[in-house]
Amino acid sequence: MRFFKNPVIMAHQMAGMVLRPGQRAIDATAGNGHDTLFLAKQVGPTGEVFAFDKQPLAIHRTAQRLKEAAVDTRVYLLNIGHEQMKNYVSGRFQTIMFNLGYLPGAERRFATRPETTVPALQQGLELLSPRGILLVVVYVGHAGAREEQQAIEEWVQTLPQPDWDVLRCSYPNRTNNPPYLLAIQRVAVTTV
């Protein structure tokens, strides 16, 4: 297997290292349901996944994918933007995934934007468990993507090092603005 073929595969591998059966996860951008399905399989029948997307088409496609895989009963689909996630979920989550950009095969006017993505990322950090991981696949090749990328990069640089480990996995030898992965892990709280 090509472990580094694309950032989505890397995100799934990283999530698979920390997410266990019975735990909770969020897919902040349900899209076609690939990440939601992955998370649902990881948490097993006793876990929970919350998937957000403001596009009805994305929620529909995700629901179909989950039903076909018989994991739909452990997933809550929310047809709202990810910037509202803290209004709909509470508690702690082990993994939160973002796959930015636009829904393939749909209107590009619904692409993610910095003014909603950065607040959603901040909310995601607030919901993470100790040692939890937030994964962001950043696309830079469509209209408005550079502004979103810049806002995310500026935001991530403000995260205090004692509290967060941040990793950027990119492809310096690829052309045509390849997507890349940001992985952010909450440092475990220690008591002295």
In a domain, 1, yes or no: no
In a domain, 192, yes or no: no
> Considering Cα of 93, then 109, then 64, then 3, what sign does the dihedral take?
negative
From first CA to last CA, the distance across the chain in angstroms is: 43
In a domain, 191, yes or no: no
In a domain, 12, yes or no: yes
Contact indicator for 1, 72 with CB cutoff of 8 Å? no
pLDDT surpasses 80 at 106: no
Residue 104 belongs to a domain with what CATH number? 3.40.50.150
| Residue among 76, 79, 83, 80 nearest 117 (CA) | 83
In a domain, 134, yes or no: yes
The pTM score is 0.94
pLDDT digits (tens, 9 = 90+) for 41-58: 999 999 999 999 999 999
**Segments forming the whole domain that contains residue 25:** 7-186
pLDDT of res. 192: 45
The radius of gyration of the chain from alpha carbons, rounded to an integer in Å, stands at: 16
pLDDT digits (tens, 9 = 90+) for 128-142: 999 999 999 999 877
How many domains is the chain built from? 1
